Amino acid sequence: MDATTRTAPVALVTGGSRGLGRALVDGLLADGWSVVTDGRDADRLAATAAELRAADPTAGDRLVALAGDAADPAHRDDLLAATDAAGGLDLLVLNAGDLGPSPLPRLADLGEDDLAAVLAANVVAPHALARAALPQLRAAHGTVVAVTSDAAAEAYEGWGAYGASKAALEHLARVLAEEEPDLAVHRIDPGDLRTDMHQAAFPGEDISDRPEPATAVPGILAVVHRRPPSGGRWQAQAVTADPTSVPQGAPS
């Protein structure tokens, strides 16, 4: 992507090699965005990028896929260099994260190192990336989407580490909305989806009754496009069913 020929808004979606991240990258490309994404498994990310380009020949160089971990400062620099080269960041989607040990342990069996690892992936790394992205986001009056979960608000046995991390991410997003009034900051719960992470939460169980990740994408895009008042929390599936449930805000 080249900023001198920018023709599309620019999104950065973390964790785009599978699950909701992949579906959202696909949806944004189809919606005309340029997308920078990443994943820790280089081979899987490369295969995903090739599949997305094959499925949508118009995507071309609007997709940049960089292998790495958002916990790595050098990788964060690379991601933001790519968005800057594309003309500047309009949308940051904090999607990547870790479930923690599988099967999910009760709090009595949750080790300190496992809890610290989940918090590092789901809270510390997203905060670091959002902080580093602020200059570009401020220039664009951009949008931040923190992908959350009902486990952030409800108590489910075994979900202590993941739920606590998502609750913390949500609170960071709420504070960011207060501190950065020129940005649109949203917390979006995609709902239970048929993903590898959800399968890891229920090892050996049949999760085929859960909807595919793509079903959450229209709701997420509706929130981004309609730009309701900053700081809100949205259920992607409900918004997909009724996009007008999201109030139309002021344009950026």
C-alpha–C-alpha distance, residues 88 and 137, integer Å: 8
Catalytic residue check, 162: yes
C-alpha–C-alpha distance, residues 138 and 181, integer Å: 10
**The amino acid at 158:** G
> Which residue of the set 33, 159, 162, 234 is catalytic?
162
Q: What strands, in cross-sheet order, belong to the sheet with 184-189?
A: 63-67, 34-39, 10-13, 91-94, 143-147, 184-189, 233-235
CA distances to 38, 105, 117, 135 from 101, in Å: 22, 7, 10, 35
Residues marked active site are found at 162
